[in-house]
Amino acid sequence: MKKPFALGAMTFVFSAALAAGSWSGILMDTTCKASKSPEEHTRKCALHCADGGFGLVTTDGTFVKFDQAGDEKALALLRTSKKDDNLKAKVTGTIEGGTLKVQTVTLE
């Protein structure tokens, strides 16, 4: 009985590891994602609209919403950054249910 459970647990861990990855794109708040060009979006605007959370506009134009931990990391990063616009970012994590569970986020 213990073997099927162990095998199932190993399969789950292995599958989760395969879903982990990194993405590049532009850091953007969810409020402005549809109304502004990502390249022209400013840090000041992102900070002003931070209550809605953040995500990444990938190179193919897809917006991927961050989880709450990712929102907090993005906000902390924006608060300390000197970069004013063109908020190119690299994010690592896993996508679960259409949400990016952020491990790290850095501005490039």
- Tens digit of each residue's pLDDT, the chain (108 residues): 444 444 444 334 444 444 689 999 999 999 998 887 888 899 999 999 999 999 999 989 999 999 999 999 999 999 999 999 989 999 999 999 999 999 999 999
Asked if residue 2 belongs to a domain, the reply is: no
Say what the pLDDT of residue 2 is.
Answer: 47
* Residue 106 to residue 43: CA distance in whole angstroms: 14
How do beta strands 99-107 and 63-66 pair? parallel
11 is written with which tokens? 């399969």
Q: Which of 38, 42, 78 has the alpha carbon at shortest distance from 62?
A: 38
Asked if residue 8 belongs to a domain, the reply is: no
Q: Which of 93, 94, 95 has the alpha carbon at shortest distance from 104?
A: 93
Count of all residues that appear for the chain in the document: 108
| SS3 label, residue 1 | coil
Asked if residue 34 belongs to a domain, the reply is: yes
Say what the pLDDT of residue 34 is.
Answer: 82
Q: Which domain holds residue 57?
A: 21-107
**How many percent of the chain have pLDDT more than 70?**
82
